[in-house]
Structure 1
Amino acid sequence: MAVRKEGAATEKVLILSDGKPGHVNQSLAYARLLGKPYEVRRVSFRGRWGKALSYPLDRLGFLTDKLFFVEDELPFCSQVVSAGSSTYYANRVIGTKLGIPSVAIMLPRSYRRNFALIIAQEHDRPPAAANILSLPVNLSCPQPQGLVQRTGRNPCVALVIGGPSRHFRMNEERLKVQIEQVFRLFPEGDFLVTTSPRTPPEIDKLIETLAFRYRVIYSREPVNPIADFLAIGDYVFVTQDSTSMISEAVTFGRACVEVLPLESTGEKNKVGRMLSPLADQGCLHVFDGTLGGKNHKIALKGVLEQALRRLGY
């Protein structure tokens, strides 16, 4: 595990990646919210045995870099941050080796919880501890790309369509009825829409038949205009399936947020536990054919900075 030699002090954050965008994006958001430079390194265990051994070794306090690979040499950095079970052991080993704080995003189950800081989501029901920051949302830091601009003075109404999961079914007819209700609520609206990597083909076809000024079908055009929607929209409608999309909507921009409910598969899920407190705080409204006018935003930057000051970092 080679470390790049640099003499000057740095505030650079080392981000460990397991290759999963949902995990890496939260680590990127951490660095961006704090305004710190960062470098990303991919880490992976040396086979299944590496991960299996990491649990008992961590509990015993035995830290070794022989269990995992790091892509490229490590930069000179001030802290190491990661999300995902395949990164936590490496996070702790590297932090200890370099003598810098280790930050874990999401609750590191099956590992010791003595990281410098753990940023957990309330819907995961983390225990109370001085080093655990419990948030009502995922970490996010949307960055508009200029993919779409606002036109005219009519209400700008954006829809963000996810897809089915083990927790939710996405029914074409139900979604069509919901979208038509939205259209009727804004007779002069300027309508934008994007689908996502999980959106099924029949929903893509439905979206193509409806009157949107700007339309992204992700399966054919893999761009992400969500941050732009949040920056210019008056209302943003987000399907219920994605905690990450909902988190972005309630932490950035000025749009009122409506969540389009989906049919539950019956599996217990954390989305319901996430939505209720956000609705109580005025961050969103679960769409019922009427508009809630809820646009309170959670200031993640300030929450993070306060937590780090409290811990002496």
Structure 2
Amino acid sequence: MSDRNHPECGFPCRAAVQPQSGPGAGPRMHRRCCGRGGCAIAGAMTAKVLFLSDSRPGHYHQSEGAIRALKRLVPVTVERVQVKSPGWLRGHRQRQLVSLMSFSPALALRLAHGLDLAAIARPDIIVSAGAETMAANALLARHFAARNIFIGSLREMAEDRFSAVLAIYPSQAVRANHILTLKPPPFEPDDLPAPQRPKGTDLAGLTAALFVGGPSGSHSWGAADWERLETLVRETGRAGLSWTLTNSRRTPHAASDMLQRLAAEEPSVAGFVDIRAAGAGSAHRLFAADILAVTEDSATMLMEAVAARRPVVALVPERRTATRDDEAIDALEGARRLVRLPLAEADGARFGDAVLAGEPLAENPLDALAEKLRPVLGL
């Protein structure tokens, strides 16, 4: 039978099972939609999403963002499953597991991840982010014949194991099944209030949020960098800019203590969201500020800031080396979605110039992502 859109669910269906008749009659699952999965029909079509989560907020928040994009295309129900990946399952071993155990995904999932497939409802779409979920995503998609979305770099995994791979690097856009996008944000951009725009480089009366990361493999933070960051907040605050500050899991305790002290001492600092006490995700409300300043060591926080459709300033410590994320950040800077400002050169005037130089996104990135996913998922 040739592919055609089923009149009730809208999916291209090859073999639709007719509704039952008699006692207990009701709509049934349509098998092999697009040859990959099923769709439950209950008046309006609802897609069953299996959300695979690891223990890292930076990963599972991206999956939550991707699911928000899916909701623009179709109503969804979501089942969340925690995936624990053994230490030996890295790199080429994930590819080998998926290739060698493709004849029995259920066995591979039980052995490698401890997953009992009998306890998982058949999904239409599988979503996950992060290397620890990659093999499980591919195996579950094969077992259930479901469409699947992975957020991140595939490394050695074959592209054809996934319906869509959400990538941040422009060089990956040419690869099969890859979609170039921002990392999906952990909030709904449309829920944020419209920001006030600066009048020239005068930032008085505006609000700003500072998202602080910390030392990483590519970025070193010395005492001078932290002092310059503190000085920048104090100087711009005394010129009329109102700040709210937050840290991250990578922020050294001494730096977090400095931010806490700054919030207590500086009248221009409205508050400090300390994730050491408040927990991951507690600072999402800060994206409502008029201006977002983010330390350059965190590509994820930078992309979340860009998704908020406000001026974004990336603050760069003195010592940093090249990193893979530079490709993505360079592209955003080239489009003026963010402006880099070395902390060694940062003062009130240059910060104002950086804010004015940016061109925030106009379109909601989740709307754009949904439209890119529509043909891939047949929605």
Residue among 98, 123, 140 paired with 1:94: 140
- Cα separation, 1, equivalents of 2:68 and 2:47: 12
Classify 1:305/1:224 alpha carbon distance in 2 versus 1 (closer, same or farther; 3 Å).
closer
For the pair shown, which has the larger CA radius of gyration, 1 or 2? 2
Report the alpha carbon displacement of residue 192 of structure 1 after superposing the two structures with TM.
0.9
Match of 1:296 among 352, 355, 360: 360
Matched, 1:118 2:165: yes
Q: Give the aligned partner of residue 132 of structure 1.
A: 178
Report deviation, 1:248.
0.7
Residues 238 and 245 in structure 1, CA contact (< 8 A), matched pair in contact too? yes
Correspondence 1:219 to 2:264: no
TM-score scaled to structure 1, two decimals? 0.83
TM-align CA RMSD: 2.9
Partner amino acid, structure 2, of 1:196: S
The CA deviation at 1:49 is 6.8
CA distance in 1, matches of 2:129, 2:250: 21
The 2-side partners of 1:185 and 1:46 are apart by: 48
Taking the aligned partners of 2:226 and 2:258, their CA distance within structure 1 comes to 9
Picking from 171, 189, 192, the partner of 2:241 is 189
Give the drift of 1:223. 5.5
With over 3 angstroms needed to count, the CA separation of the structure-2 counterparts of 1:245 and 1:45, relative to structure 1, is closer
Deviant stretches of 4+, over 6 Å: 49-52
In the alignment, what sits opposite 1:235?
291
What is the alpha-carbon distance in structure 1 between the residues aligned to residue 145 and residue 89 of structure 2? 27
Structure with more of its chain in helix, by fraction: 2
Match of 2:329 among 275, 285, 302: 275
TM-score for both structures, normalised by structure 2: 0.70
Secondary structure (helix, strand or coil) at the match of 2:159 reads coil
Cα deviation for residue 234 of structure 1 reads 1.5
Deviations 1:226-261 (A, max 9, x none): 321211x12111111111111110002x43211110
Deviation at 1:19, TM superposition (A): 2.3
Q: Which deviates more, 55-64 or 284-293?
A: 55-64
Cα 1:63/1:116, change in 2 over 3 Å: farther
What does the per-residue CA deviation read over 1:251-285, in whole Å, with 9 as the maximum and x for residues that have no partner? 02x4321111023353x312322222212212111
CA-CA distance at 1:113 after TM superposition:
0.8
Q: CA deviation at 1:52?
A: 6.7
Counterpart AA for 1:22: G
Q: Which residue of 2 aligns with 1:82?
A: 128
Give ranges in structure 1 of 5+ residues lacking alignment.
1-5
| CA separation of 1:63 and 1:47: change in aligned 2, threshold 3 A | farther
The answer to whether 1:305 aligns with 2:370 is yes
The amino acid across from 1:142 in the alignment is F
Residue 141 and residue 54 in structure 1: after superposition, are their counterparts in 2 closer, same or farther (change >3 A)? closer
Number of residues of Structure 1 aligned to a counterpart in Structure 2: 297
**Aligned partners of 2:245, 2:302: CA distance in 1, in Å?**
15
